[in-house]
Structure 1
Amino acid sequence: MYKSIIPVLFLLTNVSVKSQSIKDSITLELTAFSKNSSLAGFGVAIVNKDSIVYSKGFGYADIESQKVYTSYTQQPIASISKTLLAVALMKAQEMGKLNLNDPINKHLPFKIVNPNFPGDNITIQQLANHTSSILDGETYLNTYVFKKKIPPFYTHLADKDIKLEVQKWVELLNANEMMTFGEFIKKQYVRGQIWYDEKQNFSTNKPGSTYKYSNMGANIAAYIIEQASGESYSSFIQKYILNPLQMNNSGWRGKSYEPKNASTLYWYGHPIPEYDLITYPDGNFMTNIVDYGKFLCAMIRGYEGEDNLLTAESYKEMMKDPVSSDFRKGIFWSVDSEKIGHSGSDFGILTHAYFLREHNMDIIVFVNTSDTKNGTTEVRDIYRTLLKYVRLTP
Structure 2
Amino acid sequence: MEYKLMNLKQPTLAPFSMLKLCINIFISLAVCQSFGQTHDSIAKQLSNDLKPIFDKGHINGLSVAIVNEQGTLFEQGLGYADKKAGQPYTEHTIQNIASISKTFIGVALLKAQEMGALNLDDPINKYLPFKVINPHFPDKAITIKHLATHTSSIKDPSQYEDNGYVLMHKNNDNLKVSSNFISPDNMMDYKVFLKNILDQEGNWYHKKVFLKNEPGALFEYSNIAAGLAAFVLEKATGQAFNAFTKTYIFSPLEMSNSGWFRDEVDNSKHSKLYADIDTELAPYYLINYPDGALITSIHDLGKFLKELISGYNGHGTLLNKSSYSELFKPNLKDSNYKKRNTNVYNDEYNMGVFMGISAQGQIGHTGGDPGVGTFMFFNSETKIGKILFVNTELDKAGVNEFIEIWKVLEAYENKL
Q: Is the pair's TM-score, using the shorter chain for normalization, greater than 0.5?
A: yes
| Equivalent position of 2:353 in the other structure | 331
| Equivalent position of 1:33 in the other structure | 53
TM-aligned CA deviation for residue 126 of structure 1? 0.6
Is 2:90 the counterpart of 1:70? yes
User: Quick one: which of 189, 206, 210 aligns to 2:214?
Assistant: 206
The answer to whether the Cα contact below 8 Å between 2:64 and 2:389 also exists between their aligned partners in 1 is: yes
Distance in 2 (alpha carbons) for counterparts of 1:174 and 1:151: 15
The residue type equivalent to 1:105 in the other structure is N
| Closer, same or farther: CA 65–16 of 1 in aligned 2, 3 Å | farther
Provide, for residues 143-188 of structure 1, a one-character-per-residue CA deviation record: whole Å limited to 9, x for no partner: 111112556767xxxxxxxxxxxxxx83431346211111110000
| Equivalent position of 2:232 in the other structure | 224
Provide, for residues 12-41 of structure 1, a one-character-per-residue CA deviation record: whole Å limited to 9, x for no partner: xx9683433321121011111111131101
Is 2:106 the counterpart of 1:86? yes
Structure 2 counterparts to residues 252-331 of structure 1, below 5 A: 252-254=260-262, 256-269=264-277, 270-324=279-333, 326=337, 328-331=350-353
Distance in 2 (alpha carbons) for counterparts of 1:83 and 1:37: 31
Question: Is there any run of 5+ residues in structure 1 with no aligned partner, and where?
Answer: 1-13, 155-168
Distance in 2 (alpha carbons) for counterparts of 1:102 and 1:322: 16
Secondary structure of the 1:43 match is strand
Distance in 2 (alpha carbons) for counterparts of 1:26 and 1:235: 38
| Equivalent position of 2:157 in the other structure | 137
Secondary structure of the 1:55 match is strand
Superposition misfits of 4+ residues, deviation over 6 angstroms: none
TM-aligned CA deviation for residue 315 of structure 1? 0.6
Provide, for residues 221-240 of structure 1, a one-character-per-residue CA deviation record: whole Å limited to 9, x for no partner: 00001000101000000000
The answer to whether the Cα contact below 8 Å between 2:308 and 2:316 also exists between their aligned partners in 1 is: no
TM-aligned CA deviation for residue 61 of structure 1? 0.8
TM-aligned CA deviation for residue 259 of structure 1? 3.1
| Closer, same or farther: CA 332–264 of 1 in aligned 2, 3 Å | same
Distance in 1 (alpha carbons) for counterparts of 2:263 and 2:195: 22
The answer to whether the Cα contact below 8 Å between 2:152 and 2:225 also exists between their aligned partners in 1 is: yes
Provide, for residues 303-352 of structure 1, a one-character-per-residue CA deviation record: whole Å limited to 9, x for no partner: 00114000011011101123325462111111133210001000000000
The residue type equivalent to 2:390 in the other structure is V
Question: Is there any run of 5+ residues in structure 2 with no aligned partner, and where?
Answer: 1-33, 338-348
TM-score, scaled relative to structure 2: 0.84
| Closer, same or farther: CA 263–214 of 1 in aligned 2, 3 Å | same
Residue range with higher mean Cα deviation, 327-336 or 280-289: 327-336
Secondary structure of the 1:370 match is coil
The answer to whether the Cα contact below 8 Å between 1:85 and 1:332 also exists between their aligned partners in 2 is: yes
Provide, for residues 231-264 of structure 1, a one-character-per-residue CA deviation record: whole Å limited to 9, x for no partner: 1000000000011111111102245444331110
The answer to whether the Cα contact below 8 Å between 1:322 and 1:335 also exists between their aligned partners in 2 is: no
Secondary structure of the 1:364 match is strand
Distance in 2 (alpha carbons) for counterparts of 1:287 and 1:16: 36
Root mean square deviation, CA, Å = 1.8
The residue type equivalent to 2:355 in the other structure is W
| Equivalent position of 2:9 in the other structure | none
TM-aligned CA deviation for residue 191 of structure 1? 0.8
| Equivalent position of 1:164 in the other structure | none
| Closer, same or farther: CA 195–36 of 1 in aligned 2, 3 Å | same
| Closer, same or farther: CA 374–198 of 1 in aligned 2, 3 Å | farther
Q: Percent identity?
A: 40
Is 2:404 the counterpart of 1:365? no
Residue range with higher mean Cα deviation, 221-230 or 352-361: 352-361
Provide, for residues 33-72 of structure 1, a one-character-per-residue CA deviation record: whole Å limited to 9, x for no partner: 1111311010000001111100000111111111111111
The count of corresponding residues between Structure 1 and Structure 2 is 365
The residue type equivalent to 1:189 in the other structure is L
Is 2:401 the counterpart of 1:378? yes
Distance in 1 (alpha carbons) for counterparts of 2:145 and 2:89: 38
Distance in 2 (alpha carbons) for counterparts of 1:16 and 1:108: 59
Q: Which has the larger radius of gyration?
A: 1
The structure with more helix, counted as a fraction of residues? 1
Distance in 1 (alpha carbons) for counterparts of 2:65 and 2:52: 17
TM-aligned CA deviation for residue 77 of structure 1? 0.5
The answer to whether the Cα contact below 8 Å between 1:152 and 1:170 also exists between their aligned partners in 2 is: no
Distance in 2 (alpha carbons) for counterparts of 1:334 and 1:112: 25
Distance in 2 (alpha carbons) for counterparts of 1:358 and 1:37: 34
Residue range with higher mean Cα deviation, 346-355 or 330-339: 330-339
Secondary structure of the 2:73 match is strand
The residue type equivalent to 1:268 in the other structure is D
Distance in 1 (alpha carbons) for counterparts of 2:36 and 2:77: 22
| Closer, same or farther: CA 134–140 of 1 in aligned 2, 3 Å | same
The answer to whether the Cα contact below 8 Å between 2:167 and 2:284 also exists between their aligned partners in 1 is: yes
User: Quick one: which of 186, 189, 201 aligns to 2:198?
Assistant: 189
Residue range with higher mean Cα deviation, 188-197 or 317-326: 317-326
Distance in 1 (alpha carbons) for counterparts of 2:173 and 2:211: 36
The answer to whether the Cα contact below 8 Å between 1:250 and 1:259 also exists between their aligned partners in 2 is: no
Distance in 2 (alpha carbons) for counterparts of 1:112 and 1:258: 37
Secondary structure of the 1:140 match is helix
Distance in 1 (alpha carbons) for counterparts of 2:399 and 2:351: 22
The answer to whether the Cα contact below 8 Å between 1:252 and 1:258 also exists between their aligned partners in 2 is: no
The residue type equivalent to 2:272 in the other structure is T
| Closer, same or farther: CA 60–152 of 1 in aligned 2, 3 Å | closer
| Equivalent position of 2:148 in the other structure | 128
| Closer, same or farther: CA 89–172 of 1 in aligned 2, 3 Å | same
